[in-house]
Structure 1
């Protein structure tokens, strides 16, 4: 384990608790102490948070599996979900609070103990869980993973419980070395991401929205659905329609709705829907058009494009470099009665003739690999996994993929360059350099006009009309960047 202490361990109180002699033990004739009961929801939440930290697991993939395996009731599943995502979203804030309450840097606390403290801090500072339940269950939990730390966890969480959340935020801000560091700790974003988000907003003349954006990143989003056009007869009656996407909706029981429609209704963020529709609806579809989804995994946008292609008489090819993700694409498009070949290969080496597009593709979606800073509310752990050094490598890859996509376009064809990141290096930076390389062969389209034309209600957009930047705080979507380019 990393860290220099067990977080606890040397006080007599902690050692006694670690040997099971504290409250709740049961020796029954000198045998081993009976473990204190921990609620199933907290065990699942701890398991997922620890896996995210220890093995880079994805909470959105692991949590449903662990909930099902533990056979949690609906109430316990809701609690496990809140504890998991709430802790991961506000992990930076809780680490700052824990450091103050413990009187030591969190790097000096063994990771399993720190995970228990984070879960406990979330219960104390952001939920209605009673103090005694949050503390006692955390102590019982740590006895399972690091028994000698029980006294330490009890003491730290008791200290946390003695102040209101607003007081802790003030203390965290006072301890910060700069304004950006204070914002980072209070709103649980790495400093470099705070600065990147500010720069993106300032480019639009909206720098004063930074706090709203940081808060939106930490809010739990509602599950959003897409009803694949032409394949769902009763789409308008399934739930509340999205404000902007003409094919999106929300519902009270979204997963039951998905199951009932066998893939024709899918979970998909509204911003992702708009990105795919910007390409499929930029021009009327001519029968016989050939479309390509260049980086298609896991297949959500591919499925929507497939439905649109089917309605317009176009064909669609999907490419994905990772075989496992290519299989997800195949599953995603299976409900659409259109043959969609899924090619496994490097998008930088796409060969149009090999896919039957001897003159090139008429429309190409490049949903480029990126930092994912636009989806932090849905994948909160992503903010702790990326660093500024990742951006240079990603922008290089984005540029190479963009060049390959542009080369694969037929004359008059349209490329949609999309990222789930508002970082200006990955958006306007990559796009601008590509347009410079392509010169007069490329025409940047009025993407804002296209998106406004397909949206159900006008969007509050800012900045350059040749690109659209969506925002969680402004539009309720992931922070998708969309730019349309035509090949002359």
Structure 2
């Protein structure tokens, strides 16, 4: 254990686990805070240090490289994480410079010994000599292109910057790129859902602008509310709520309909579907290929008094094995996760453009299998937590080319407007499709893409 404060030690250990073990900070940090028994103030500091460091990692790496006069790839990874944590405190918080330097040097000492401590001390004192604005100027001058400059200053990989620009341009909104990148680096407020027909929005809570089941608390830890409700009140992004409701409310439900959530883990959308199925007399089945995530689905729906069979199969096999069987299918496809960078800041560093072809192939296979599983007249909602056009518009276009006039696209934007309290700003894409694209900077949601397709009778 280092001589650093418990708050910084927990932040450092979490960041190390993210980089060393591919852990997710939003899953790991709450457990680490509970084990550490930190005060409310220290827990808040730890949370800010962890997420802030991960969000701005690209910018901080550029600063460290300049201050150390060496490639970050030549720095021992634990020492690099201690430096990142220190740079975040120096450039983006009100932590006193001497505390930021000394605490981070102690972390480096614990990770790499006296030599690492001396190196960290020299680098951080160099960083502390210039203002945050100076360092932005330094890294801008080091960039080799305009896109690299934007990526370094907003802490996004260049390929993500370009993917976002193309997705916004498809709506005629390329001028919103800077606002989107800034929104990705802001801490999102906790959004909750009251499962429809089962729970009510609590008194004193503030309703979200779009989802009829969404709300935000004015303050405090939501865990007690979640526990006391038996899970019928739950944390869930408003975009995820709208994606599930778009499927259930696209057209009126007939009693006895059969629904399938094909890629259900971790179960947030499944819970909304289950509540809707219970209210309308529909049958819901869920599938999740990962046994661990299937367990999370079962936990998520435990508060809904509806029997939901949860299978653990490859979704491509599961749907195709039941042709013409389902009235509604949700395909919440595995994706790059570029739409959730506010909540999962480390995700921007884990994916590469080379990952996209494999993912789009899987997405296309899942959507084709779902189309096979639909009965004539049935509807599939194809959803990704990514605005990347290859994962959204292109996957749907491929299916439409394959099946021709067997499929009809519904206007997902109109459905979401009909569901919402207030009318969200959802411009029509240049391709004329009915796809709805939500955005962090415009809707304060994850960048959720929602497409509704009906199998012609």
* TM bucket normalised to smaller: over 0.9
Counterpart secondary structure, 1:413: strand
2:210 matches 1:210: no
* Corresponding position of 1:442: 407
Deviation at 1:150, TM superposition (A): 1.1
Alpha-carbon distance in structure 2 between the residues aligned to 1:295 and 1:212: 31
* Corresponding position of 2:451: 483
* Corresponding position of 1:11: none
Deviation at 1:158, TM superposition (A): 1.0
Q: Normalization by structure 1: what TM-score?
A: 0.90
1:220-277 deviation digits (Å, cap 9, x = unpaired): 10111011011114x2525110011110011112223212212011110000000000
* Corresponding position of 1:195: 162
8 A Cα contact 1:353 1:359, kept in partner? no
1:164-185 deviation digits (Å, cap 9, x = unpaired): 1111111101100000001111
2:404 matches 1:404: no
Residue from 346, 351, 354 that aligns with 2:314: 346
1:29-108 equivalence runs, <5 A: 37-108=3-74
1:29-428 equivalence runs, <5 A: 37-147=3-113, 148-233=115-200, 235-237=201-203, 239-251=205-217, 252-253=219-220, 254-351=222-319, 359-428=324-393
Alpha-carbon distance in structure 2 between the residues aligned to 1:334 and 1:36: 42
CA separation of 1:64 and 1:236: change in aligned 2, threshold 3 A: closer
Alpha-carbon distance in structure 1 between the residues aligned to 2:169 and 2:76: 40
Deviation at 1:128, TM superposition (A): 0.7
Q: How many residues are aligned here?
A: 450
Alpha-carbon distance in structure 2 between the residues aligned to 1:442 and 1:37: 63
Counterpart secondary structure, 2:263: coil
Structure 2 stretches lacking a partner, 5+ long: none
Deviation at 1:145, TM superposition (A): 1.2
Deviation at 1:340, TM superposition (A): 0.4
Alpha-carbon distance in structure 2 between the residues aligned to 1:353 and 1:122: 51
8 A Cα contact 1:125 1:164, kept in partner? yes
Alpha-carbon distance in structure 2 between the residues aligned to 1:407 and 1:37: 60
Alpha-carbon distance in structure 1 between the residues aligned to 2:404 and 2:7: 57
Alpha-carbon distance in structure 2 between the residues aligned to 1:194 and 1:132: 35
Alpha-carbon distance in structure 2 between the residues aligned to 1:457 and 1:214: 25
Counterpart secondary structure, 1:149: helix
Counterpart secondary structure, 1:380: coil
8 A Cα contact 1:352 1:359, kept in partner? no
Deviation at 1:68, TM superposition (A): 1.1
8 A Cα contact 2:387 2:449, kept in partner? yes
CA separation of 1:338 and 1:238: change in aligned 2, threshold 3 A: farther
Counterpart secondary structure, 1:350: helix
Alpha-carbon distance in structure 2 between the residues aligned to 1:180 and 1:141: 34
Structure 1 stretches lacking a partner, 5+ long: 1-34
Counterpart secondary structure, 2:392: helix
Runs of 4+ aligned residues of structure 1 deviating over 2 Å after TM superposition are: 253-256, 351-354
Residue from 453, 456, 463 that aligns with 2:428: 463
Q: Normalization by structure 2: what TM-score?
A: 0.96
8 A Cα contact 2:59 2:154, kept in partner? yes
Alpha-carbon distance in structure 1 between the residues aligned to 2:50 and 2:93: 12
CA separation of 1:430 and 1:383: change in aligned 2, threshold 3 A: same
8 A Cα contact 2:265 2:288, kept in partner? yes
CA separation of 1:290 and 1:116: change in aligned 2, threshold 3 A: same
CA separation of 1:188 and 1:425: change in aligned 2, threshold 3 A: same
Alpha-carbon distance in structure 2 between the residues aligned to 1:321 and 1:273: 22
8 A Cα contact 1:48 1:59, kept in partner? yes
CA separation of 1:350 and 1:362: change in aligned 2, threshold 3 A: same
Alpha-carbon distance in structure 2 between the residues aligned to 1:54 and 1:185: 23
* Corresponding position of 1:5: none
